[in-house]
Each structure stands twice: as structure tokens, then as C-alpha cells.
Amino acid sequence: MRRQYSESGLDGNLSNIVNLQKFTYGLASKAAGEQEVLREITRFIFHAFGFKEIAVALRSPTDGKYRYEAFLGMTRDAEQGYKAIIYDHSHVFNDDIYPGIRLSKHTELALAELEAYVEGEEGSYNRPAMLKEKRASADQMLDSDYYTAYLLGPGDDTFGWIELSGHKSGKFPPMGIIRQLELFSSVISLILYQWRAGVKKASPGPRPK
């Protein structure tokens, strides 16, 4: 019975859930600042979910604008490209500008063919030339495809998101991984929102449905 329910017997999916539990308790047990938490989040996603490039954007409690604040797997030039981007709520959540496939309330997938970027954002890609890559098969994930996992506060207030691209497998991850990612983003939303508690003063509200 002990062997059956031991962590050594976990499959990949359950192992990720156990690791998420440890990660959450680990953050709660130490006096980590926001930047340290953000770095821990990107590292966890890299190891647990297999995405090679990760960026976290949060809304400023001061002016209500969204900025990228944490990165993993980016070149220095790509990081600088991300840091130069500042979004208004009405702009970043405009489906005509950034078309995507809604997988759920929490997650969206932007395919390279949808060209979900605007002029001037090419610098945020590790290799701008990858925007011209062609898909060889339906399950191939191009480096210019990316997932967005939304960070939601009370009342589904979207105060940030996690952007993920370049899966290690070279393919779109299975839905089980995406569901785990959604669970993870829901948990860390609670953590991050505490640091942004004053955000409601500058909040434009939830993302339009």
C-alpha cells in the first residue's frame, strides 16, 4: 500500500501536481520578494511543463498598464524588446490585434499563422526570422506559436499573464499539461495578487468576454 501511494510511483501528471504543492508551500514558508517569486515561477514552468521561453506580464498598480517583468530562456535582445512594450487594457485584450484560440477562461493559444503581434514587437522574439517559419505538421509547435495563461484576481480581473513558447518536445503539449498549467496559474494568481493588492484603484476591470 505504501508503495502504491508513494511519490516514486507517480506518473508525469501527478508528479507535477505534487511538485506544485511543494512549490506553493515553499513560497509560503520563506519571505520572498515579488521578483524572487517571479523568477521561481518561470523556473517551475520550465522544469514542470517543458516550455523553453517564458515571460510574465503584470499590471502596474500605479498607472494600470501592463509590462513584462520576468523572463526565462530569452536572449538579452529579446528581453529588452519585451521590456520596451507597454500595454493598455483596451489594446492588449483586443482580439482583432491579437487573435488567438481560447482554450478556456484561463488559457489562449496564438498560432503563428494568426500573426498575433504588431509592428515593432519583432524584437521581443529570440529569433525574429522565426516569424517566417512554416509548419511541417499539424502537431508541430513553431517557436512563434505561444500560449497565454491569464492571471486572474477577484471577479476574473485579469491583472497579468504568463506567455509561453518553444516547447521542448517540438510539439503542442497535450491538454493534460495545459490543464495543469491552468491550475498552476490559478494558484500563483492568489500569491501575486497579494503584491498587487492596490491594483484595483487603477484597474480597468476584467477582460471583455
CATH (domain of 162): 3.30.450.40
Residue 74 in any domain: the answer is yes
- How far is residue 124 from each of residues 16, 32, 56, 74, 118, measured CA to CA in Å? 29, 28, 13, 9, 11
Residue 209 in any domain: the answer is no
What average pLDDT does this structure show over 98-115? 88
- pLDDT band for position 181 (50/70/90)? very high
Phi, psi angle pair for 93, to nearest 5°: -100, 25
What average pLDDT does this structure show over 46-73? 93
The yes-or-no verdict on residue 1 having pLDDT over 50 is no
Residue 138 in any domain: the answer is yes
pLDDT at 134: 84
Residue 42 in any domain: the answer is yes
pLDDT at 114: 80
CA distance 37 to 2: 34
The yes-or-no verdict on residue 197 having pLDDT over 90 is no
Task: Quote the mean pLDDT of the chain.
Answer: 80
Instruction: Pick 15 or 8 by higher pLDDT.
Output: 15
- Full-prediction pTM beyond 0.75? yes
Range of the domain at 13: 7-201
Residue 187 in any domain: the answer is yes
Residue 206 in any domain: the answer is no
pLDDT at 97: 80
What average pLDDT does this structure show over 61-74? 93
CA distance 205 to 179: 25
Distance from the first to the final alpha carbon of the chain: 47
Instruction: Pick 81 or 55 by higher pLDDT.
Output: 55
Residue 53 in any domain: the answer is yes
- pLDDT band for position 15 (50/70/90)? confident
pLDDT at 118: 54
Percentage, residues of the chain above pLDDT 90: 35
- pLDDT band for position 30 (50/70/90)? low
Percentage, residues of the chain above pLDDT 70: 75
Sheet with 101-102, edge to edge strand ranges:
86-87, 66-72, 51-59, 157-167, 146-153, 107-110, 101-102
User: What's the number of domains the chain is made of?
Assistant: 1
